[in-house]
Amino acid sequence: MASIWRYILAGLGLAALLVGIVAAVYLMLPQPAPAPDISRSKSTANGLFVASFEPERGVIRQGELQSWLLTLKTAAGAPVEGAAITVSGGMPQHDHGLPTSPQATDYLGDGRYRIDGIKFTMSGWWQLRFAISAAVGSDSVVFNIVL
């Protein structure tokens, strides 16, 4: 009888050990780098505009030239018209720039600007920076895109 209790006790002890090992291994796994903010809509750096940035066809395809839409509203929600927009960016972790030079090519009304010539040639963390200048003033915004 006593020996059965011994087995049970040993079993419990080993189970506890196992849990301990699993926990230790889990803790030792490399921690992922803090994820960049990938929201598609945000206030510009000085709060002058609210900018949204979406692929025009809805999906991102690696390696293809694509157009995106940048929508600009004032903080009060009015569409921003006649903005001059320049685009830059790159991959912060590879310290290289964009493989293409995207441009604002068309104004589509309602604060929407077509940004054409965007190409993501590799998976990873990309940044697109927009310098925006409109009647109310100039501001900038950075979008993170992770693919």
Contact 117, 103 (CB under 8 A): yes
Instruction: Give the binding range for another protein (CB under 8 A) out of 1-9, 39-47, 49-57, 71-79.
Output: 1-9
Residue 65 touches another protein, criterion: CB under 8 A: yes
Question: Which one among 38, 46, 57, 96 touches another protein, defined by CB under 8 A?
Answer: 96
Which of residues 36 and 117 has its CB atom nearest to another protein in the complex? 117
Question: By the 8 A CB rule, do 132 and 140 touch?
Answer: yes
Instruction: With contacts defined by CB under 8 A, name the span among 27-35, 40-48, 58-66, 70-78 that binds another protein.
Output: 58-66
Q: Is 90 helix (H, G, I), strand (E, B) or coil?
A: strand
11 lines the binding site for another protein (CB under 8 A) = yes
CB of 75 to another protein, least distance (A): 32
Closest CA to 133 of 88, 80, 95: 80
Distance CA 58, CA 67 (A): 10
Tokens of 127: 């940044």
Give, as one character, the DSSP assignment of residue 75. T
- Residue 142 structure tokens: 């950075």
Name the site residues for another protein (rule: CB under 8 A). Answer: 3, 6-7, 10-11, 14, 17-18, 21-22, 25, 62-63, 65, 94-103, 116-117, 119, 121-124
